[in-house]
Amino acid sequence: MGTLTSILVLSFLIFFHELGHFLAARFFGVHVEVFSIGFGKKVFSKMVGKTEYCLSLIPLGGYVQMKGQDDRDPTKVSYDEDSYNTKAPWKRIIILFAGPFANFLLAFLLFLAIGSMGVTKFAPIIGQISPNSPALEAGLQENDRIVMINGVLIEGWDEVSQLIQESTEKLEVKIDRLGAVQTFLLNPKVNEYQNMFGETKHKKMIGIAPSGKTIEVVYGISELPKFAWQQTVKSTTLILTSLQKLVEGVVSPKELGGIISIVQVTSEASAAGLVALFALTALISVNLGVLNLLPIPALDGGHIMFNAYELLTKKAPNERVLTTMTTAGWLLLLSLMALSIFNDLYRLTNGN
């Protein structure tokens, strides 16, 4: 059941991505020859109008085949009025960007759904207090509930962390202790910590940890768009930072995961409930959007790069250079796919 859910999630994400390309292409009058979910041999095909809609054997991607545009042969062009090639570069860029944009839009919609269903957060209740910390010196105690920091009402523990980092002076912390509200003044200290990439960083701390108790926050209609936007931006930033750390060598290539990892985590998320599945689907959707915008030939970002060049210079890229770079792009992508699958299999066989 988990594997089936994973395949359905991946197929849906691919469909949404390709739908973005399809709608933008049709909007600008480009004829779409094929709309396929999956690669390889076609297992189902149906002509609707002049477009062939199909499901293909390998559900690891998909494509929209536009008239005059073929990744397998970048020199294959058509100069008919309804061809991709005859459209202005800026229109082609919009068509190319529409796919990744659809993924970001889908993530936003999923976060809207998550916010309306309820988000589980750590309650702002103090658990462990570090020795020799500002919190201990000020007199904070275990099981104190933080109700306000510097005049801002506190709903969840994430807001506590954020306000501590944003503080420029002393923190005025209001605590609910056994039904009585008390006020404390604290001076945060800058301490070292290990981030999720294993790097040593510095941040302001007052020496408290959450108790582990949770609350469920359901956002109102007026709050939902802000929540969904923040979560989409947060997911995008996380993926971009991860890519940066991979390039810098902070994150090992051994950490790359492929289709097997996606199936595993999607199965686990589906077992954890609908909110967890939606959250993971939104993250994968953002990941798909970001990766497709990388300036690698054969990806949307690479095609956008070529069209931006044409837009700026008023001349198309050299065919030989275009073919060489596209081939190199495919080799890079295939190498990354092979590495990620190898890592997945290695983790499986070693029980990690």
**Is it the case that residue 189 has pLDDT exceeding 70?**
yes
Q: Give me the mean pLDDT over the 180-199 stretch.
A: 83
The span from the first CA to the last CA of the chain, in angstroms, equals 22
Considering 155-169, 218-232, 290-304, the range whose residues carry the highest mean pLDDT is 218-232
Q: What is the pLDDT of residues 76-108, one digit of tens each?
A: 677 888 898 889 999 999 999 999 999 999 999
Q: What is the pLDDT of residue 326?
A: 74
18, 52, 142, 199: which is the annotated catalytic residue?
18
Q: What is the pLDDT of residue 29?
A: 93
Q: CA-CA distance, 99 to 116, in Å (whole number)?
A: 26
Q: What is the pLDDT of residues 12-46, one digit of tens each?
A: 888 899 999 999 999 999 999 989 888 778 888 88
Q: CA-CA distance, 244 to 187, in Å (whole number)?
A: 34
Which of these ranges, 219-228, 274-283, 303-312, has the smallest mean pLDDT? 274-283
Of residues 48 and 259, more confidently modeled = 48
Is residue 305 within 8 A of residue 269, CB to CB? The reply is: no
Helix runs in 273-350, H state only? 274-292, 300-313, 319-349
Percent of the chain with pLDDT over 90: 29
Q: Which residue has the tokens 């936007």?
A: 229
The helix (H) or strand (E) run that includes residue 262 is: helix 259-272
Tokens representing 66? 């536009």
| Beta-bridge mates of residue 93 | none
**What's the angle, vertex CA 240, arms to CA 238 and CA 246, rounded to 5?**
100
Under DSSP, the state recorded for 184 is E
Where would I find the beta strands (DSSP E) of the chain?
A: 32-48, 51-66, 119-122, 126-129, 145-149, 152-153, 171-177, 180-186, 189-194, 200-205, 208-210, 214-217
* 349 exposure class (CB count in 10 Å sphere: 0-12, 13-18, 19+): exposed
Q: Is 255 one of the annotated active-site residues of the chain?
A: no
Q: What is the pLDDT of residue 79?
A: 80
Q: CA-CA distance, 170 to 98, in Å (whole number)?
A: 47
pTM here is: 0.80
